[in-house]
Amino acid sequence: MESPFRSDVLKGKVALITGGGSGIGFEISKQFGKHGASVAIMGRRKQVLDFAVSALQSLGIPAVGFEGDVRKQEDATIVVESTYKHFGRIDILVNAAAGNFLVSAEDLSPNGFRTVMDIDSVGTFTMCHEALKYLKKGGLGRGSSGGGTILNISATLHYTASWYQVHVSAAKAAVDATTRNLALEWGTDYDIRVNGIAPGPIGDTPGMSKLVPQEVNSKARDFRPLYRLGEKWDIAMAALYLVSDAGKFVNGNIVIVDGGLWLSRPRH
């Protein structure tokens, strides 16, 4: 689908996107690139990164991939520094890396809970923390005007409760809290805007294929009036709005992009 945004809304900007090699993270990388940004993607799997970088470059997007695990502070430091060295500035950080699996709370080990907290919550904070000096107003970015911006991808699971997702619900709640608190502190001190997106079910993503079996997906509409699958494009367009000047007065906001699903109740 054609973008409603001008193709130069992110001209001259540099974005670092964790989990940028696949799923929602890749679509955000692609759309940022198509709208003028240079893109660095971070991920754990070299093959996935290489494939994604080639795909971005074939669209004419200046793109580079850096291997790293957001759970390791040293990886975060190196990837952030490498992005700065490669492109000369960092304007946008997107935290899209996430871990997930379906398991009942009874069967989930504390280490399984911790693993997802480590990836989603601690990983998001670590990346924000390591990127701060580059995102600061008048910081290290060449010719940077105003502070940079951060976008954290969470979910709507924790607004209510979700079966077999206690670890992810807890982790995403922490991500949203981190978004709001950094928006307050860094918005005030450094003019850095920090926002989030809470996607609903999005088709053609690792999350959907892991979490929602086909038979559930095909029946969901019978039970949930507003149930339909979003597209990765929908998330990327919300991301463009939030990180571009279109969103320049938006800070500390978590934009729900789910077609209204989370607030719906079964018909009776």
* HEC letters along the chain: CCCCCCCCCCCCCEEEEECCCCHHHHHHHHHHHHCCCEEEEEECCHHHHHHHHHHHHHCCCCEEEEECCCCCHHHHHHHHHHHHHHHCCCCEEEECCCCCCCCCCCCCCHHHHHHHHHHHHHHHHHHHHHHHHHHCCCCCCCCCCCCCEEEEECCCHHHCCCCCCHHHHHHHHHHHHHHHHHHHHHHHHHCCEEEEEEECCECCCHHHHHHCCHHHHHHHHHHCCCCCCECHHHHHHHHHHHHCHHHCCCCCCEEEECCCHHHCCCCC
Nearest residue (CB) to ligand HXC, 146 versus 207: 207
Asked if residue 101 binds ligand HXC (CB under 6 A), the reply is yes
Q: With CB under 6 A as the contact rule, which of the stretches 6-14, 35-43, 184-192, 206-214 interacts with ligand HXC?
A: 206-214
Residues 147-166 that bind ligand HXC (CB under 6 A): 155, 157
Whether the CB-CB separation of 55 and 131 falls below 8 Å is answered with no
Tell the smallest beta-carbon distance from residue 254 to ligand HXC (Å).
13
Options 41, 211, 235, 243; binder of ligand HXC; rule CB under 6 A: 211
Q: With CB under 6 A as the contact rule, which of the stretches 6-14, 132-140, 203-211, 237-245 interacts with ligand HXC?
A: 203-211
Q: With CB under 6 A as the contact rule, which of the stretches 72-80, 102-110, 143-151, 188-196 interacts with ligand HXC?
A: 102-110
Tell the smallest beta-carbon distance from residue 31 to ligand HXC (Å).
19
Q: With CB under 6 A as the contact rule, which of the stretches 82-90, 94-102, 222-230, 244-252 interacts with ligand HXC?
A: 94-102
Tell the smallest beta-carbon distance from residue 43 to ligand HXC (Å).
10
Asked if residue 112 binds ligand HXC (CB under 6 A), the reply is yes
Residue with token string 């093959």: 47
Query: How many whole angstroms from its chain centre is CA 203?
Result: 16
Asked if residue 210 binds ligand HXC (CB under 6 A), the reply is yes
Tell the smallest beta-carbon distance from residue 157 to ligand HXC (Å).
6
Options 88, 139, 206, 252; binder of ligand HXC; rule CB under 6 A: 206
Tell the smallest beta-carbon distance from residue 138 to ligand HXC (Å).
35
Alpha-carbon torsion (227, 199, 102, 268), positive or negative: negative
Options 3, 57, 82, 115; binder of ligand HXC; rule CB under 6 A: 115
| Residues that bind ligand HXC in the complex, under the rule CB under 6 A | 98-101, 103, 108-109, 111-112, 115-116, 155, 157, 168, 206-207, 210-211
